[in-house]
Amino acid sequence: MYTTSANVAERQAAPPSLAISTVIFALRPSEASGRPTLWLPLVRRIREPFKGLWALPGGPLTHSESLQDAASRNLRETTGLAPSYLEQLYAFGGLHRSPTQRVVSIVYWALVQPTEAALADESENVRWFRADKLGELAFDHNAIVDYALWRLRNKLAYGSIAYHLLGEYFTLAQVREVYEAVLDTRLDPANFRRQIKATPEIEETGEYLQGGKHRPPRLYRFTGRPGLDPDNRSTP
Amino acid sequence: MYTTSANVAERQAAPPSLAISTVIFALRPSEASGRPTLWLPLVRRIREPFKGLWALPGGPLTHSESLQDAASRNLRETTGLAPSYLEQLYAFGGLHRSPTQRVVSIVYWALVQPTEAALADESENVRWFRADKLGELAFDHNAIVDYALWRLRNKLAYGSIAYHLLGEYFTLAQVREVYEAVLDTRLDPANFRRQIKATPEIEETGEYLQGGKHRPPRLYRFTGRPGLDPDNRSTP
């Protein structure tokens, strides 16, 4: 897709090319504290431009795929996973995103549940990174991740998005950990518990978390319909 | 941009082409009742495919423009106007949007104030239509307008978007008329007035609407910062 041999005149004659990229968030334990933190998978570039730097998974749009199908394929090929949530984020089309050719990237963002994320493929050129410790990425991908994080934090405030980062059953402490990981802050457990218990879409299951504890915490379930998020109409 | 002579093999060899389209909303008086209603400008297609049908203003992305600059230019060329609000709506990239070639359209939506909309250019091939009386548009443009309307209604509920459809000074009745036009419903004046007066970003100006009335209504001003809308970060 990127050619270094083309001269300026050739590049300006070619139409802007179209790429699909995907920002994939999942909760994984912090290496230091073991607490859930926000991670995303990146792919090492093996070609110029930005050879050796890490970049968002993606590639050119093929003829036989819709935008969303191309995003799903990126995600599957990079991580071996299917997302619990996939939505178009934004089309990035600044003039100087790539030094070699005008590229317009239509970016999707995805959320993956932690049990799935734990199974994700890693290799020399595909690795998960903490969202707050990415270093310098290829192209404008730091700015894209920054925007995706902003969208995630924003949606957390008014939707059901947190439950896409959890399994089907969860404790109230696990919901709080999602909010703490995404907002990068600590929340008061008692206040948070009271607020979440007041949410009509959160239902007690009658089950308890299995484990060695003396008094195991109760498991809850999200009964809302994610399609009812204000900014998440099914098919535009 | 669309070529009917290319055969299937040629079309599949060419990369998907990129277009920018714009949905431009403004309030204009209804022809029947004189009440403000929601209108948008359309352009008649003078080429196949869909020759003779009306379509959203737009065109191919050129090399020297960012996506947003291309959308602004579309808007200026079609209506002679600069928008008070312009935001990326969505990238539409289904496989069968155009019968002759794969086209991905990055769509922007804009709001224009009524004093400006009244000055907009019209011609044989550029005309304003009521948003609820569009008829059959070219390509998937009915679906795109439908999605833009959904986004506008949604944003009305939680942001400052209504004030982009008004001038700098407005009466409380004018704010209600915006809500009524966009939501296509009547609202109780006294209840609405109470709610809007409770909004901290709405400020009395001490001025009154000029006109022949015995008791002229007070003028208000919006003091909020549109950039603080939850889904409207300035530059992604």
Per residue in A168-223, pLDDT (tens digit) is 899 999 999 999 988 888 999 999 999 888 888 899 999 998 876 678 899 999 98
A-chain residues near B60 (CB < 8 A): 15
pLDDT at A145 over 80: yes
Q: Compute CA B44 distance to the chain's CA centroid, rounded to the nearest angstrom.
A: 17
Domain boundaries, chain B: 8-156, 161-228
- pLDDT score of A137 more than 50: yes
| Cα(B136)–Cα(B140) distance, integer angstroms | 10
Q: How far is CA A152 from CA A159, A161, A164, B165, in A?
A: 10, 8, 11, 29
DSSP state of B164: G
Chain B residues with beta carbon closer than 8 angstroms to that of A104: 18, 61, 67, 106
| Residue bearing tokens 């400052």 | B160
Better-scored residue on pLDDT, A106 or A211 = A106
Instruction: List, for residues B15-73, the tens digit of each pLDDT value.
Output: 889 999 999 999 888 888 888 899 999 999 999 999 999 999 999 998 889 999 999 99
Residue A52 contacts B where some CB pair is shorter than 8 Å: no
Please state whether beta strands A17-29 and A103-112 pair in parallel, antiparallel, or not at all (unpaired): parallel
Q: May I ask the CATH architecture of the domain A8-156?
A: Alpha-Beta Complex (3.90)
User: What is the spatial distance between Cα B79 and Cα A142, in angstroms, rounded to a whole number?
Assistant: 37
pLDDT band for position B187 (50/70/90)?
Answer: very high
Domain B161-228 in this protein, CATH class:
mainly alpha
User: What pLDDT does residue B42 have?
Assistant: 96
CB-closest option in B60, B91, B150 to A88: B91
What does the pLDDT read at residue B235?
A: 45
For position B192, what pLDDT does the model report?
93
Higher-pLDDT residue of B157, A221? A221
Average pLDDT over residues A18-44: 91
Q: Indicate the class that CATH gives domain A158-228.
A: mainly alpha
| Partner A contacted by B147 (CB < 8 A) | yes
Which residues make beta-bridge pairs with B54?
A: B44, B137
Residues of B in contact with A66 (CB under 8 A): 93-95
